[in-house]
Amino acid sequence: MSGAPRDTSGAAKATSCDKLVIGFDGDDTLWHNEQLFADTQHQLRELLGHYADVATIDAKLLEVERRNLAIFGYGVKGFALSMIETAIEISDSRVSARDIHQIVMMGKSLLEHPIELLDGVADVVDELAGRHRLMLVTKGDLMHQESKIAASGLADRFWQVEIVSEKDPATYRRLLDRHAVAPSDFVMIGNSVASDVLPVLAIGARAVHVPYHITWALEVAAVDNEEFPTLMNLRDVVALVDQWSS
């Protein structure tokens, strides 16, 4: 879906099995994201500070986001609308139009924020792209994700770019089918256990958890007895993937 170059000969390549297909999540795996949302939420607390305390504002925002997720989906525009609803509800409709305008502008700032790659990302992606086929699998707003991928400077390292509305087992199965990749040849790398690890394990592929320093409350997964590697540094992924592909 993105402006990234695509290789249309994917089905043919997929039959040469010495290479793996390495899936990367984008937000908080390749570039900073949740920190920007957290900074914005901090601004919202300041704006609404004379109506309620921090804990009340945070709880209300989470409640509104959870209520709206099924209708808005992921992304900044839905977050902006949820912040506006939070401001109205927490102020008992006393919030001013000027403050709501401020919230709209906070949403626009998030949409226009420059991309900052996480430490080591460019090296790791370069190195893996030389040995494997890379697939970017990211969820959220189609246009915003496309612009982030373009701004990352990484687009040409990826064999395929897939922007999806939800990361569940059915989505991963569909993507692998579409590009004729066997689950045994697929490794997903991402910061979210709920989105990047558990649904990938569920379809018989492998996954590596590389945590970001913040996890959005609606992405926190309940992990039972699933086993998967967690690496604190993306650079360590290279050695693990080398081991898996040998």
The residues of the shown chain that bind its own copies, judged by CB under 8 A, are 1, 3, 6, 8, 11, 71-75, 77-78, 80-81, 84-85, 87-88, 91, 93-98, 100-101, 104, 107-108, 111-112, 141-144, 146, 162-166, 170, 174, 177-178, 180
The answer for residues whose C-beta is within 8 angstroms of residue 156's C-beta and 6 or more apart is 4, 5
Q: What is the C-alpha separation between 169 and 14, in angstroms, rounded?
A: 21
Produce one character per residue of 74-111: b if its CB has 16 or more CB atoms within 10 Å, e if not.
bbbbbbbbbbbbbbebbbeeebeeebbebbeebbeebe
Structure tokens at 91: 């102020």
The nearest distance, CB 77 to its own copies, in angstroms, is 4
Task: Give the nearest distance from C-beta 115 to its own copies in angstroms.
Answer: 15
Specify the residue, 163 or 197, whose C-beta has the smaller distance to its own copies. Answer: 163
Least gap, CB of 122 to its own copies (angstroms): 25
Q: Which is nearer to its own copies, 9 or 243 (CB)?
A: 9
Least distance to its own copies, CB of residue 173, Å: 11
Q: How far apart are CA 182 and CA 205, in angstroms?
A: 8
Q: Closest separation between CB of residue 202 and its own copies, Å?
A: 17
**Which DSSP category does 117 fall into?**
B
Specify the residue, 167 or 209, whose C-beta has the smaller distance to its own copies: 167
Nearer to its own copies, 61 or 208 (CB): 61
Strand stretches in 65-205, DSSP E: 133-139, 160-164, 186-190
